[in-house]
A and B are shown apart, each in its own frame.
Chain A
Amino acid sequence: MQISSDDVKRLAELSRLAFNEEEIAQMQENLVDMIQYADRVNATACDMQAKEHILPLHNVFREDVVQESLSNDEALKNAPESEEMYFKVPQVMEDE
């Protein structure tokens, strides 16, 4: 499995991470190593139906009952920035 520096850049973009050229080269090398290792999963001729969960549980529900929410103060307590009762984030370009 080959990983190009463009692949690394694309994965970085999807992950919202930035790397400089040196880091990209390093990351490329790391990923090649890791993927080579990961390739071992293909060593089994396993056509078993993959289960999403190893637990034998299903249908875990909550009843439709309203429970107490946080206060606005609590909600905003850890916000890097807030205004009035809102969280504040940098300008979102609606038509990015």
Chain B
Amino acid sequence: MKYEVVIGLEIHAELSTQSKVFCGCSTAFGAEPNTNVCPVCLGMPGALPVLNKKAVEYIVRAGLALNCEIANYSKMDRKNYFYPDLPKAYQISQFDLPFCKGGYLNIQADGKEHTVGITRIHLEEDAGKLVHTPGGTLVDYNRSSMPLIEIVSEPDMRSAKQAVEYAKAIRNILLFAKVSNCKMQEGALRFDANVSVRPFGSKSYGTRTEIKNLSSFKMLQKAIDYEYQRQVSMIEKGEKIRQQTLRWNESSNRIIALRSKEDAHDYRYFPDPDLLPVILSDAFIEDVRSKMPQMPEEKKKMYIEQFQLSEYDAEVLTANSELCAFYEEVLQDYNEPKIAANWVNVELMALLNQSDMLVEELPFAACDMAQLLQNIQSGKISGKMGKGVLADMFETGKSPEEIISAKGLSQISDTAELEKIADEVLANNPASVADYRAGKEKAIGFLVGQVMKATKGAANPQSVNEILRTKLNE
């Protein structure tokens, strides 16, 4: 029998507020342990939470970006459980009245468009970080009470690939909405995957397991693939799938059970008496909407209609918020959207892909790229030279001006100089001259190549071509 995988994702994203969600401690990453902490986020007795207004704005923005309905009445609840990373022994979260409900997101995967339903998005606080050492466990509460949103999807994905594309699309949206930096290496974006399998064609769902805390797309893919195989082989052996929480172990590339006691958890959610309800007026929601940064769909439309980019170029640019931001920055100093798009999507992407780098890791700024394009535009260097310069910029981080002058790359635009070289080439290649004059058009290509060679590529091939033709036709 063939089995189909059914996947739902819970995505945790840290909001990029300056201060934590319930206290004034900084959210800056990389501080020394336990230095961004106060009585509130350490759960000290008597300390009280006060909700960060920006966090509310951000979750509303995320909700709007993901086509959710925004709740007019919302509240914070306590989720009670003991764990050393949770200093109050409860997490402030949302239970039955989250800020956002009922959204969706369209993704491209397996060559088709799919719609993934978004059940809800709620606001909660993050926990501290445990560091395991042989002598005991160390705890850093800098991350405690950082603002998190949890985006819960419907079980709408049918392959690991779809799940990954959905996760990537969510990341992209959050970046465009400027609500999270989504830095996965800093743990700002984490996934829990709910996975079940069922025979193809079945309408009912199988028993699902939850794989917790996947911190990269690769892990997400591997964990789902692994879990799918595990469940299928269990069913084929006639075993029952148990509803349980699992963890992906990256070093052993396998899944381990986290909590075996199915009913050990009873979170006893109840409204947090220390926090008051949040009532969002339609006017407030509209205000957030009106201040929304442009979302990828909108941008794509603009690129196609106003910039006359191809559908493909527009798609590539808007599928990656950093690339898109870089592109728009280039345009600020070089207002040729089509040419710029071509350079960003083709040349720059090729370099990035070769070295497996991200746009934000580029050693040069968008204005440098704009300067390079200006140099090509003005004819100072050729396009071909430009590619070389870009590669150098990528390698060294130097500015295009620096590279051009250091390498003496200035294109020869002095016609007298070029004419002298052309004369020499014509004199040294009588056979080709004869061929051309006998009607073999192609012969000119060889002659142009000879001039370019003599100038070490510093001539503008277009000009060389024209000069040679004039001389040959004399």
Residues of A in contact with B (beta carbons under 8 Å apart): 13-14, 16, 52-53, 55, 57-72, 75-76, 81, 83-92, 94-96
Chain A contacts for B257, CB-based, 8 A: 95
Would A87 and B258 be within 8 Å (CB), given that A60-B51, A66-B18, A66-B19 are in contact?
no
Question: Given A75-B42, A86-B131, are A62 and B37 also a contact pair (CB < 8 Å)?
Answer: no
A residues within 8 A CB of B53? 61-64
Q: How far is the CB of A65 from chain B (nearest CB, A)?
A: 6
Residues of B within 8 A of A (CB): 17-19, 23-26, 32-39, 42, 50-56, 75, 82, 84, 130-132, 135-141, 247, 256-259, 264, 266, 268, 271, 273, 275-279
Q: A61-B51, A69-B25, A72-B33 are in contact. Are A88 and B38 (CB under 8 A)?
A: no
CA gap between A53 and B273 in the complex, in Å? 7
Closest A residue by C-beta to B45 = A78
Decide if B36 touches A69 in the complex (CB within 8 Å).
yes
> Which residue of the partner chain B has the closest CB to A11?
B266
Contact of B84 among A61, A83, A89 (CB under 8 A): A89
Question: A59-B276, A70-B38, A92-B84 are known contacts. Are A85 and B32 too (CB-CB below 8 A)?
Answer: yes
Contacting residues, chain A, for B50 (C-beta < 8 A): 60-62
A69 touches B139 (CB 8 A): no
Question: In the docked arrangement, what's the CA distance between A16 and B24, Å?
Answer: 31
A84 CA / B133 CA spacing, docked (Å): 13
B259 to chain A, nearest CB (A): 7
Q: Quick check: A85 and B52 within 8 Å, CB to CB? A: no
Find out whether the CB atom of A87 lies under 8 angstroms from the CB atom of B139. yes
Distance between Cα atoms of A63 and B53 in the complex (Å): 6
Asked if B136 contacts A89 (CB within 8 A), the reply is yes
- The CA of A58 and the CA of B271, in the complex, are separated in Å by 14
Given contacts A67-B25, A72-B33, A85-B35, contact A58 B278 (CB under 8 A): yes
